[in-house]
Amino acid sequence: MDIPINTEGGSRVILELIYSLKVRDVMTRKLVTASADTGMREVQQLMRDNGITGIPIVERTRLLGIVSIGDLLKALDQGQMAEPAASHMSASVVTLEEEMPLTFAISYLNRYEFRRFPVLDKTGSLAGIITASDIIKTLLVEMNREVERLEATIAHPQTIDPAASPGLDPGSAGTPEEIVLSLSFPTRQYDFDGAGKASAEFKKALKQLGIEASIVRRAAIASYELELNQVIHSTGGVMEYILRGGRITIVARDQGPGIADVQAALTEGFSTANNWIRSLGFGAGLGLPNAKRSGDDFSIDSAPGRGTTVCVTLNYAAGP
């Protein structure tokens, strides 16, 4: 069964939902498992008693494989119900990690023929299992909640707080130097499909303005590192770019969760990224140091619960 949700385009509200929900928010933690030497007849009984269609085979908390209804039918057909689960389970299992956003589970269901995915925790131990019906149930509950919230907003419209809305700092308006460029792009946690778009647009704009290639390159690096930090670590943020008076200013502002130890975060090699983010080639602990090195000026303001604002500026020779 496919889950007909567009994980790339689609409604912003739905996208925010499926990116903010994690696999661990949706998975079933109550696991029915069997060991490798459990007989297939016993496995069948477990499935029937618990009303489930797949049983993970484990050695303590380590996942060895999974026995599905299909595996069971084959064993039945061949009269091998007395044999152990180990010789009938599917050993190459596609797994998810509990920190992954729900979008991963949805695209896995649509991509693979499997109907359930065991979920592993940070240490690689089996933490739960996720099925299409888990996803649909949670999504319906969350969508209902969101629709109620939206209906309430329509009934009682709130005034927009200008300080909270992204864009130019109103205090800086009216200065004599003309703004050459002002761009702003939202980012979303774990949106690796969209990651880099802000920096690509920014780089393109700098190039079009005829700014020196080596400065464009440094600005693009700083921008990309900060953008990726928002995608990897924040709950979403905004990338803002302002060119004025021979200065390029990159402001990366996010809503949280904030950095506990800023000094450590600026140390090369320090990283809080989890394993699947590292497997994509990110989270090496080079991001902030790279951004800092690429700029002429660097400032960071962050505290847990408040979010993070990083500001990088680069000087450039304004046109003749």
Partner 1 sequence: MNISDFQTRFGFEAMYDGYVDAEVLGGYTSDLLSDVMSKAGEASTLVTIQAHKNTVAVATLVGINSIIICNSRPVSAEMIESAKAEGIALFRTDKTQFEVSGLLYCALRDAKA
Positions that interact with partner 1 (CB under 8 A): 192-193, 195-196, 199-200, 203, 213, 217, 220-221, 224-225, 228, 280-282, 284, 286-287, 290, 293
Judged by CB, which is closer to partner 1: 126, or 232?
A: 232
Least Å from the CB of residue 281 to partner 1? 4
Judged by CB, which is closer to partner 1: 195, or 252?
A: 195
Q: Is the dihedral of CA 228, 284, 308, 225 positive or negative?
A: negative
For 21, residues 6+ apart whose C-beta sits below 8 A from its C-beta are 101, 102, 138, 142
Any bridge partners for residue 301, and if so which? Answer: 309
Cα diameter, the chain: 87
Least Å from the CB of residue 185 to partner 1? 14
Least Å from the CB of residue 237 to partner 1? 18
Judged by CB, which is closer to partner 1: 93, or 200?
A: 200
How far apart, in Å, are the Cα atoms of 166 and each of 98, 222, 231, 254?
31, 20, 17, 10
Judged by CB, which is closer to partner 1: 199, or 249?
A: 199
How far apart, in Å, are the Cα atoms of 35 and each of 82, 114, 252, 273?
14, 21, 49, 33
Judged by CB, which is closer to partner 1: 64, or 243?
A: 243
DSSP state of 248: E
Judged by CB, which is closer to partner 1: 136, or 213?
A: 213
Q: Is 234 exposed, middle or buried (0-12, 13-18, 19+ CB in 10 A)?
A: buried
Interatomic CA distance for residues 197 and 33, integer angstroms: 43
Least Å from the CB of residue 226 to partner 1? 12
- Angle (CA) 193 298 166, round 5°: 55
Least Å from the CB of residue 219 to partner 1? 10
Counting every residue written for the chain, the total comes to 320
Least Å from the CB of residue 66 to partner 1? 23
Least Å from the CB of residue 234 to partner 1? 17
Closest CA to 189 of 238, 251, 250, 249: 238
Judged by CB, which is closer to partner 1: 13, or 280?
A: 280
H or E element in which residue 186 lies: strand 179-187
- Angle (CA) 249 9 116, round 5°: 120
Least Å from the CB of residue 220 to partner 1? 4
Interatomic CA distance for residues 66 and 48, integer angstroms: 16
Least Å from the CB of residue 312 to partner 1? 14
Judged by CB, which is closer to partner 1: 63, or 221?
A: 221
Distance of CA 140 to the CA centre of its chain: 21
Judged by CB, which is closer to partner 1: 7, or 131?
A: 7
